[in-house]
């Protein structure tokens, strides 16, 4: 078991013994924050690289929505989990691509029709680099999971007019995060990561959402589709104005 996982399990066990009372939760958060700060201090180069990346992303994101808040939250979450780098003291190229993917909603072009395809390409690229360079780590797995949950949930809820597709997105990305968090608190330890076969439906949904977003007319990505009746009424009104 890695040192990071052992430390996390110890904190979760303490939280479980406190039966999630407010005092136990506050103590858990305080211990977790202290450990995160200590782990970040032990990896100044990784922290500097992380800060430089998010500073570069912050500039084009400052006048956009979700923009600055999104980038700031991404930096805070990543900085709090630098201990998951374990024996490494710096970020890998794969880590940087993953974090960039997570921040696509805050960047120019993040709402473009090609943004889903860009996210898929970045996902494939960071996985290839991690395997080729041997830089896979719990930090990369954590960042990859949250990048997927953040980007695809945002893209679907913000730009997908289909209610079934939005429900599927919640089931594919939000529900697993909530389930893992709940299981970790109840058991007092981190659950094992899901097997690759269990992730295939979510990966297939990513392709479907990306293709739908790519091929959908731009105006349709902002408004829900019209019913047949509404469309007929609108066409009738236009024809009346042209007469």
Q: Is 134 left (phi over 0), alpha (psi -120 to 50) or beta?
A: left
Q: Which residue stretches of the chain have pLDDT < 70?
A: 1-12, 14-21, 23-25, 28, 180, 183-200, 218-243
Both tokens assigned to 208: 């479907």
How far is CA 168 from each of CA 135, 156, 157, 243, rounded to the nearest angstrom? Answer: 32, 9, 11, 45
Within a 10 A sphere around the Cβ of 192, how many other Cβ atoms? 7
pTM of the predicted structure, to 2 decimals? 0.76
Name the helix (H) or strand (E) containing 216: none
What is the Cα–Cα distance from 118 to 112, expressed in whole angstroms?
A: 10
pLDDT, tens only, 157-205: 888 888 888 888 878 877 777 776 776 666 666 666 555 444 567 888 8
**Residue 135: CB partners within 8 Å, gap ≥ 6?**
88, 92, 93, 94, 95, 129
Burial classification of residue 35, based on how many CB atoms lie within 10 Å of its CB (0-12 exposed, 13-18 middle, 19 or more buried): middle
Domain ranges of the chain: 3-242
Within a 10 A sphere around the Cβ of 26, how many other Cβ atoms? 11
Determine the 3-state secondary structure of 191 from DSSP. coil
């Amino acid at each position: 078991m890695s040192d990071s996982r052992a430390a996390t399990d110890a904190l979760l066990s303490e939280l479980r013994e406190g039966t999630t009372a407010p005092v136990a939760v506050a103590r858990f958060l305080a211990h977790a924050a202290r450990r995160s700060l200590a782990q970040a201090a032990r990896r100044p180069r990784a922290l500097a690289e992380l800060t430089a990346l998010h500073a570069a992303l912050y500039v084009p994101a400052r006048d956009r929505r979700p923009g600055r808040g999104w980038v700031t939250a991404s930096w805070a979450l990543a900085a709090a989990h630098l201990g998951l780098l374990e024996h490494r003291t710096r970020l890998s190229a794969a880590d940087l691509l993953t974090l960039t993917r997570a921040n696509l909603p805050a960047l120019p072009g993040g709402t473009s029709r090609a943004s889903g395809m860009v996210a898929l390409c970045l996902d494939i690229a960071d996985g290839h680099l991690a395997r080729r360079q041997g830089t896979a780590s719990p930090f990369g797995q954590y960042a990859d999971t949250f990048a997927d949950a953040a980007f695809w949930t945002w893209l679907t809820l913000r730009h997908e007019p289909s209610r079934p597709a939005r429900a599927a997105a919640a089931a594919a990305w939000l529900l697993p995060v909530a389930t893992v968090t709940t299981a970790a608190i109840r058991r007092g330890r981190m659950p094992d990561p899901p097997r690759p076969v269990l992730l295939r439906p979510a990966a297939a949904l990513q392709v479907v959402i990306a293709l739908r977003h790519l091929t959908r007319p731009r105006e349709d990505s902002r408004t829900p589709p019209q019913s047949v009746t509404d469309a007929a009424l609108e066409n009738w009104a236009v024809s009346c104005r042209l007469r």
